[in-house]
Structure 1
Amino acid sequence: MIRSLFKFGLLSLFAVCGLGCGREPGPPSSPNPGFTETADLTTPSNSASKEADMNKTASVTREKLNAEVDGKPLEQFVLTNKNGLRAVVLNWGGTLASVETPDRNGKFDNIVCSFSPDNERFLKNPPYFGVTCGRYGNRIAKGKFTLDGTEYTLATNNGGNHLHGGVKAFDKYIWNAEPVQGEGFAGVKLTLVSPDGDEGYPGTLTSVVTYKLTDKNELRIEYSATTDKATPLNLTNHGYWNLKGARAETGTVLDHVMHLNCDSYIAVDDESIPTGKLTAVKDDSPMDFTKAKPIGQDLGKLTNDPQGYDHCWVINGGGDSTKEPVLAAEVREPSTGRVMRVLTTEPGVQFYTGNYLPGTPDVHGFAKHGGFCLETQKFPDSPNQLSFPSCILKPGETYRQVTVHVFGVE
């Protein structure tokens, strides 16, 4: 049962979900050209202010909102670092609802697309704005797979295929949540127990997702999970980004300039199911982002319907959770100077350009291509693709994944 969604607390989601969350500019950021990765983007030049800022610490506040789902309260966790960057995470769906960063002039704005709370689609969230996808992000063909000689049938919610964990997947639950804090970061730890048979998957699975906003202007998302039966697992965040500011009037992301650290991508059929073939990007120019280019530069050469990117690229050097995250993507927005780097331990990144956003009021006014996703993940349909890296988590093992978003200006 869903109760009142519309009268939230003092720090309402009207502020954090893109409806007027621009902030007054702080002092100018560093005049040095290039990407500012770890600098304090808002520190004034006078020494007294610098000394005061050195004493700042990252903080997290927990707020109950005036809403319940199945008798459990909806909560938001506001993470703030010493430089003034702010991220908002909801216990509903493990959702990243807002990230506020400065532009080159020091003006803060939210760069994550999300629904306003008075929207009747706020809980249903058909575009999956900012949610944690699970058990299996992306698609599994025909909603079926065979594991250890047993065929499993999953819920089908994308034509005849299984998408992002099914009908009532991880994005449709209240997660247990608790604030966490350490040296140089503030965060929230989210835990969800998925029972044996949930959406057709075997095994009782315990998943933990921890968001950390660091004083190095990083948003770290750390995933872990354990199971009592072998099961496919592919957790990812489905955040939509618009570095101009996530508002209707900012338009599309097609002028954002992107580089992918990927020499190949996974070929798919007309239902976006992998064919099993990896294709070199040099043989398919619209898919080649090895040299940075505007996202929309080659859009007209794509033949899918609706037109746009929705493919998984293979990350060079990726796929080893025992090592440090490697670069997956770097995106620049020329008019604001904002830059975002994405690093991960995962083997793939699903790049999606919001092809199904119709730009109508019931989806918060975001136009088609009004946001882009960089979903770090295992390869789609891996349970049925023997040539792909394994996605199976077994009893006694611990699933681990780390994805880092690094924010800067130039």
Structure 2
Amino acid sequence: MAGAKIEKDIFGTLSDGRKVERIVLRGEGGFEVRIITHGAVLQALIAPDANGNCDDVVLGHDAFAGYLAERKFLGATVGRYANRIAKGQFSLDGETFQLPVNNGPNALHGGLDGFDRKLWEIAGVDDGTEPAVTLTYVSPHGEENYPGRLDVRLTYRVTGPTELSLIMEARTDRPTIVNLTNHSFFNLEGATSGTPILDHKLTVAADHFLAIDPTAIPLPEPPRAVAGTPFDFRNARPVGERIRESDQQLRHGKGYDHTYCLGRDGKLAFAARLEAPRSGRIMELFTDQPGLQVYSGNYLDGTISGKGGKLIRQSDAMCLEPHIWPNAPNRPDFPSPRLDPGGVYRHHTVYRFGVRAS
């Protein structure tokens, strides 16, 4: 229905006959967000450029079959534990848990069949001035070998003319760990522009980052200062300006694939800014999470096609993933991912879009 703030339709069908729904939320000036219930995926995000022209700025697929064919986490909600856990092992109250390993020797993004592969339920929609959809998923005790039943509730809401808010909450019936994030790949020139993100200007509000080993697990050391390294984005710099420097950390990540230490203390605050030089689009990211994974699309290798049938290649887009630090269950010096009965895990991230001043 033209002009409606919210719409629903069927995006696809699973092999068992269950329907995958798509929810469209609209802001102003052509701003539009499309979410599908499979993986609670941000399937499209359409934003105006400096000339008022609108384009989709997140990687994904035009049809549901693309999401089933290859697991690349495009726009997905990942959990129970975003990022990596070393050797897929952690201990809780004296008991050791072995998770499936799916990323070399480590567990990544919830394991073999994480939240990105689940069909979420629509718990409610809000067609008011701030259109929203709330999705839920219940992860049973023992799923992927994680302890405890986890009840997850996620709300996508358009909270401004061109602003998307994401709030995630989780509750458990026994001690467990949880770390959720959205895994959208952004290209502010447009998802099908064919323009790499290496000339996007990036700002990250962090003085320190986590150095990693060759398997992307944080080294057993305190966070490193970004000063004097290719990881210093405290002032806006092109993503690709120093990405090919001879730096061991860049070699380990095959580019940027590192967590920046934000130190949020549970309060929503500015974390990063991305600016596209041609379209003039700007995205500012605010979060209450203690870390921000900056990933420059290093493992996108042209083996799959995305929207418009275009092959997805290295540096075609980048991720800015707010979450708790990787391998935190095994690092008492890191922010804790522990969740106990009676407690509530909370994650709040805001994506605010704008354009460069003329």
Out of 191, 200, 211, the position equivalent to 1:267 is: 211
Q: What is the alpha-carbon distance in structure 2 between the residues aligned to residue 144 and residue 360 of structure 1?
A: 31
Q: Residue 107 and residue 370 in structure 1: after superposition, are their counterparts in 2 closer, same or farther (change >3 A)?
A: same
Q: What is the alpha-carbon distance in structure 2 between the residues aligned to residue 314 and residue 252 of structure 1?
A: 26
TM-score after normalising by structure 2 = 0.93
Q: What is the alpha-carbon distance in structure 1 between the residues aligned to residue 211 and residue 9 of structure 2?
A: 44
Instruction: List alignment gaps of at least 5 residues for structure 1.
Output: 1-10, 12-55
Deviation at 1:179, TM superposition (A): 4.4
Out of 52, 55, 59, the position equivalent to 1:113 is: 59
SS in 1 for 2:227: helix
Superposed CA RMSD in Å reads 1.9
SS in 2 for 1:251: coil
Matched, 1:366 2:312: yes
Matched, 1:213 2:158: yes
Q: What is the alpha-carbon distance in structure 1 between the residues aligned to residue 223 and residue 34 of structure 2?
A: 37
Matches within 5 A, 1:317-336: 317-320=263-266, 323=267, 325-336=268-279
Q: Percent identity?
A: 38
Q: Residue 401 and residue 264 in structure 1: after superposition, are their counterparts in 2 closer, same or farther (change >3 A)?
A: same
Q: What is the alpha-carbon distance in structure 2 between the residues aligned to residue 401 and residue 58 of structure 1?
A: 28
Q: Residue 86 and residue 179 in structure 1: after superposition, are their counterparts in 2 closer, same or farther (change >3 A)?
A: farther
SS in 2 for 1:267: coil
Deviation at 1:236, TM superposition (A): 0.1
Deviation at 1:267, TM superposition (A): 1.2
SS in 1 for 2:152: strand
Deviation at 1:82, TM superposition (A): 3.6
Larger Rg: 1
Out of 308, 318, 334, the position equivalent to 1:388 is: 334
SS in 2 for 1:268: coil
**Equivalent residues of 2:300, 2:312 under 8 A apart:** yes
> What is the identity, as a one-letter code, of the residue corresponding to 1:101?
A
Query: Which shifted more, 330-339 or 268-277?
Result: 268-277
Out of 27, 33, 36, the position equivalent to 1:87 is: 33
Moved over 2 A (4+): 68-71, 359-364
Q: What is the alpha-carbon distance in structure 1 between the residues aligned to residue 12 and residue 178 of structure 2?
A: 33
**Equivalent residues of 2:11, 2:63 under 8 A apart:** no
Q: What is the alpha-carbon distance in structure 1 between the residues aligned to residue 69 and residue 103 of structure 2?
A: 15
SS in 2 for 1:370: coil
Matched, 1:377 2:320: no
Deviation at 1:319, TM superposition (A): 3.5
Summarize deviations over 1:113-144 as a string: whole Å, max 9, x none: 0123275x421442210000000000000000
Q: What is the alpha-carbon distance in structure 1 between the residues aligned to residue 304 and residue 176 of structure 2?
A: 39
Corresponding residue for residue 232 of structure 1: 177
Corresponding residue for residue 23 of structure 1: none
SS in 2 for 1:299: coil
**Equivalent residues of 1:260, 1:328 under 8 A apart:** yes
Q: Residue 91 and residue 398 in structure 1: after superposition, are their counterparts in 2 closer, same or farther (change >3 A)?
A: same
**Equivalent residues of 2:216, 2:253 under 8 A apart:** no
